[in-house]
């Protein structure tokens, strides 16, 4: 029956067929509505000639139009900037006078101040090397001495396994050896005192700067204070430990005070025993003065009047202080006194060490001290004076004069060496002028860069305004 009617019995197949027919009907309805709307759309907008021209061109994207607009804007800015520069140049009539050397330095360009400084240092080193070589040649030209050597010596020299040094080298070596001997510690020890250096001063490193030494000294002081505080805390903890005490325990200060009072009493008693007149006279050892000799009758009568006695006040019972509390208080005071004494001792030792570091105390030979003492002897021409008194004074004065002469010679030599070093390290006037010209060229370059930066800022502002 299902096959004769032509309708499928499956529900899914029926649903598919119904959906297809529905889509066909909807498509036909949409096409009919679109045709009706197109027949009714008779409106035509009015387009300007420029818009029509742009629409007719076609074929260009938005990026291409943006690039074209950027080129046009940049050309306009360049033309405007060139016109402004021409107007500014017309107003700039000042022309500075530049030397040929400055123009040459400015034309070089491409180098920074550091590179110029390195180049100047290399040139200075080369000039110093050439000057030293020229000085060595001049010194060598003055060495014209040539000793006469016999044939036997020449044969011995020719047979030597190494080439002997020349006369100039031997002379230079002898001069250097002489200088080393003159400035050696053994030569200077004869006319210089040996300083008394403490162990603490030997530990100091004077190769470091002053700021580093001060910083290390402050760290050392803080550490010493911290150690002292820890020691004080340990001592306090040890002294405050509770231990059995008795009522008769007394501190050293109390015992000393009691002994002093007893000695004073004994002294007064002995004085009274030695002077019977003082012991027998009662007026000399009574507290109340004699009214007949000191006070007038009116004052004595007023003082003789008795005042009414005040009523006795009830006495409050006093608390009995235990022996342990007394002992703890005494121990605390003793610990505080010991701590203060220790801190004072540490401060005194530190001050003594600082004074020893800052004070120069040379060790003087006993023989020199004896000579200095003999210098104060009575002259030989004085009556009763020894004949050799003036001789020792003259010897001591001669030795002192030689020491002063050697000190002056060393100071003069040191000053000459410092002046030579300063002359080698100080640049000449021409070098300073070259440095100043380089600085002027660098300033000119900085001004040009600043002008370029200002132009870029103006261009950026113009672009922002156009955009």
Q: How far, in Å, CA of 309 to CA of 377, rounded? A: 86
Give me the numbers of helices (H) and strands (E) for the chain, helices first please: 19, 2
- Contact 361/195 with Cβ under 8 angstroms? yes
Instruction: Evaluate whether residue 55 is within a structural domain.
Output: no
Least confident range from 136-140, 163-167, 313-317, 404-408: namely 313-317
- Which two tokens mark 440? 């002027």
Q: Do 204 and 222 have their domain in common?
A: yes
- Which two tokens mark 178? 């002489």
Q: How far, in Å, CA of 231 to CA of 338, rounded? A: 11
Q: Do 329 and 346 have their domain in common?
A: yes
- Cα 131 from chain centroid (whole Å): 40
Statement: residue 382 has pLDDT above 60:
no
When pLDDT is cut at 50, 70 and 90, the band that residue 428 belongs to is: low
Statement: residue 389 has pLDDT above 60:
no
User: Which has more confidence, 417 or 20?
Assistant: 20
- Which two tokens mark 250? 């007394």
Ranges assigned E (strand) in 228-307: none
Instruction: Evaluate whether residue 156 is within a structural domain.
Output: no
Instruction: Evaluate whether residue 4 is within a structural domain.
Output: yes
Interval 102-115: pLDDT, tens: 777 777 666 677 77
DSSP secondary structure of 234-268 = HHHHHHT------TT---HHHHHHHHHHHHHHHHH
Q: How far, in Å, CA of 314 to CA of 457, rounded? A: 101
Q: Do 236 and 263 have their domain in common?
A: no
Is 330 strand, coil or helix?
helix
Q: How far, in Å, CA of 369 to CA of 193, rounded? A: 12
Q: Do 254 and 349 have their domain in common?
A: no
Interval 221-257: pLDDT, tens: 888 888 888 888 877 777 665 554 444 455 666 677 7
Q: Do 236 and 268 have their domain in common?
A: no
Percent of the chain whose predicted confidence (pLDDT) is above 90: 3
The number of distinct structural domains making up the chain is 3
Statement: residue 291 has pLDDT above 80:
no
Which of 268-277, 298-307, 388-397 is most confident? 268-277
Predicted local confidence at residue 207, as pLDDT: 61
Phi, psi of 108 (to 5 degrees): -65, -65
**Distance between start and end Cα atoms, the chain:** 81
User: Which has more confidence, 95 or 186?
Assistant: 95
Residue numbers of the domain that contains 24? 1-34
Instruction: Evaluate whether residue 341 is within a structural domain.
Output: yes
Is 363 strand, coil or helix?
strand
Instruction: Tell me the longest C-alpha to C-alpha distance in the chain.
Output: 181
Q: Which of 141, 230, 190 is nearest to 368 (CA)?
A: 190
Statement: residue 431 has pLDDT above 70:
no
Statement: residue 380 has pLDDT above 70:
no
Q: How far, in Å, CA of 266 to CA of 278, rounded? A: 16
Predicted local confidence at residue 215, as pLDDT: 78
Instruction: Evaluate whether residue 339 is within a structural domain.
Output: yes
Predicted local confidence at residue 97, as pLDDT: 75
Instruction: Evaluate whether residue 344 is within a structural domain.
Output: yes
Predicted local confidence at residue 337, as pLDDT: 78
Instruction: Evaluate whether residue 444 is within a structural domain.
Output: no
Q: How far, in Å, CA of 330 to CA of 253, rounded? A: 10
Chain position carrying tokens 């040929």: 100
When pLDDT is cut at 50, 70 and 90, the band that residue 28 belongs to is: very high
* 226-240 as b/e: b if 16+ CB within 10 A: eeeeeebeeeeeeee
Sign of CA dihedral 382, 385, 388, 394: negative
């Amino acid at each position: 029956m299902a096959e004769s009617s032509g309708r499928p019995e499956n529900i899914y197949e029926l649903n598919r067929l119904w959906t297809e027919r529905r889509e066909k009907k909807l498509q036909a309805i949409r096409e009919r509505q679109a045709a009706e709307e197109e027949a009714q759309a008779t409106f035509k907008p009015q387009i300007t000639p420029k818009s029509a021209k742009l629409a007719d061109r076609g074929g260009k994207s938005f990026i291409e139009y943006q690039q074209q607009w950027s080129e046009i804007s940049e050309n306009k800015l360049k033309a405007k900037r060139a016109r402004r520069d021409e107007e500014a140049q017309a107003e700039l009539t000042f022309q500075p006078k530049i030397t040929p050397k400055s123009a040459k330095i400015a034309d070089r360009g491409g180098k920074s101040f550091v590179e110029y400084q390195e180049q100047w240092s290399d040139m200075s080193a080369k000039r110093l090397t050439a000057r030293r070589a020229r000085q060595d040649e001049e010194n060598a030209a003055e060495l014209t001495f040539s000793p006469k050597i016999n044939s036997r010596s020449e044969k011995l020299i020719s047979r030597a396994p190494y080439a002997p040094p020349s006369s100039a080298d031997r002379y230079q070596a002898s001069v250097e050896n002489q200088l080393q001997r003159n400035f050696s510690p053994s030569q200077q020890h004869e006319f210089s005192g040996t300083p008394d250096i403490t162990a603490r001063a030997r530990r100091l490193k004077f190769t470091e700067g002053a700021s580093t030494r001060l910083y290390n000294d402050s760290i050392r002081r803080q550490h010493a204070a911290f150690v002292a505080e820890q020691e004080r805390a340990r001592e306090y903890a040890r002294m405050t430990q509770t231990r059995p005490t008795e009522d008769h325990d007394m501190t050293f200060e109390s015992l000393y005070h009691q002994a002093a009072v007893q000695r004073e009493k004994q002294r007064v008693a002995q004085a009274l025993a030695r002077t019977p007149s003082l012991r027998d006279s009662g007026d000399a050892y009574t507290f109340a003065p004699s009214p007949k000799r000191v006070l007038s009758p009116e004052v004595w009568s007023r003082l003789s009047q008795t005042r009414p006695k005040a009523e006795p006040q009830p006495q409050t019972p006093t608390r009995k202080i235990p022996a342990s509390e007394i002992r703890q208080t005494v121990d605390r005071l003793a610990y505080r006194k010991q701590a203060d004494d220790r801190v004072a001792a540490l401060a005194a030792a530190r001050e003594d060490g600082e004074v020893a570091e800052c004070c120069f105390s040379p060790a003087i030979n006993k023989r020199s001290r004896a000579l200095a003492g003999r210098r104060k002897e009575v002259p030989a021409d004085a009556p009763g004076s020894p004949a050799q008194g003036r001789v020792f004074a003259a010897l001591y004065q001669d030795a002192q004069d030689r020491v002063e002469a050697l000190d002056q010679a060393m100071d003069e030599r040191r000053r000459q060496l410092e002046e030579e070093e300063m002359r080698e390290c100080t640049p000449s006037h021409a070098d300073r002028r070259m440095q100043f010209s380089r600085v002027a060229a660098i300033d000119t370059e900085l001004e040009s860069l600043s002008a370029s930066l200002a132009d870029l800022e103006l261009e950026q502002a113009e672009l922002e305004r156009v955009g």
